[in-house]
Structure 1
Amino acid sequence: MKPSITISWLDLERLERVLDRLPAAQANARDALLDELGRAEMVEPWDMPPDVVTMNSRVRFSFDHTEEEVTLTLTYPKDMTDSGEQLSVLTPVGTALLGLRVGNSIGWQRPDGGEFRVTVRGIEYQPERAGELHR
């Protein structure tokens, strides 16, 4: 059973545009993200709870119940740089994190068929909380 997720209609519109432009080679990433978006609760951007991972959020998370945390910014593919501080929403981890609340965990399948579990530990920055709706 997957935890519920929350997404703003603004992020949904932007993600749908990304998905419409994906090449066939990225069909698995597209399908995984579409599945997540299909089960999401939609809210107004200004009503987004501050503990939800949204696009462009800087999120702290861990894998498989470890204490070691990773902090990355959930990013649209077009905004990715080589900084090592970003995570594309089209990656399995990025798709898994989208819409989760702090404290939530979700199991997810890796491209090699194995599984991982990711837990949201905190959100250092969320655009909606900062009033930056048109990013």
Structure 2
Amino acid sequence: MSTVHTQRPSITVSTLDLERLEALMAQAPRAALPYVEALETELARASVVDPEQIPADVATMNSVVRYRDLATQQAHRATLVYPQHLASTQSGISVLAPVGSALLGLRVGQSIRWQVPGGHLIELELLGIDYQPEAAGEYHR
């Protein structure tokens, strides 16, 4: 059973995801600034590794993940996507959305508290990864 961390758990992102996310954040509209700042803060503390070195249990961009909202105990399944791909992805969640930023880089079994607009905290646990591009050998997607 996982516990919710009062400190944020360690996270891992690939060099490719980091490069693309930095480009996304540099071009984001002003309205997205609070979300961009939250993602920047999260990425600044990440361990960054080559795509080939990402463990299969880490939520990366374009991964299909299962997670639970610990306040409601509701489980969800979503694909972690860039905002421009949201409309073309069934059950997609943008990496700029609070839930997307919170899940990025987590390992299965980890949980995190994340502040959302309005100031309240959500608590999420990564339950599983149904698909991860790196685990499928798609290192440069």
**TM-score with structure 1 setting the length:** 0.96
Residue in structure 2 matching 1:68, options 50, 70, 74: 74
- TM-superposed CA distance for 1:131, in Å, is 0.6
Consecutive unaligned residues in structure 1, runs of 5 or more:
none
- TM-superposed CA distance for 1:83, in Å, is 5.4
Q: Secondary structure at the match of 1:60?
A: strand
Residue in structure 1 matching 2:32, options 26, 31, 41: 26
In structure 2, distance between residues paired with 1:129 and 1:84: 21
- TM-superposed CA distance for 1:65, in Å, is 5.5
Stretch of structure 1 that moved more, 66-75 or 5-14: 66-75
Decide whether the 8 Å contact of 1:7 with 1:99 is kept in 2. yes
> Is the counterpart of residue 81 in structure 1 residue 94 in structure 2?
no
In structure 2, distance between residues paired with 1:75 and 1:85: 10
Write the mapping of 1:30-69 to structure 2, written as runs, cut at 5 A.
Answer: 30-64=36-70, 66-69=72-75
Paired amino acid for 1:9: T
Report Cα offsets for 1:16-42 as digits up to 9, x if no partner. 010010111111001000000000001
- The corresponding residue for 2:110 is 104
- TM-superposed CA distance for 1:64, in Å, is 1.5
In structure 2, distance between residues paired with 1:82 and 1:76: 11
In structure 1, distance between residues paired with 2:61 and 2:80: 6
Report Cα offsets for 1:65-106 as digits up to 9, x if no partner. 554310000000111116551000000000000000000000
Paired amino acid for 2:17: D
Count of aligned positions: 135
Decide whether the 8 Å contact of 1:96 with 1:108 is kept in 2. yes
**TM-score with structure 2 setting the length:** 0.92
In structure 2, distance between residues paired with 1:20 and 1:67: 35
Q: 1:82 to 1:42 in 2, by over 3 A?
A: closer
In structure 2, distance between residues paired with 1:97 and 1:104: 9
Paired amino acid for 1:29: Y
Consecutive unaligned residues in structure 2, runs of 5 or more:
1-6
Report the aligned-residue RMSD: 1.2
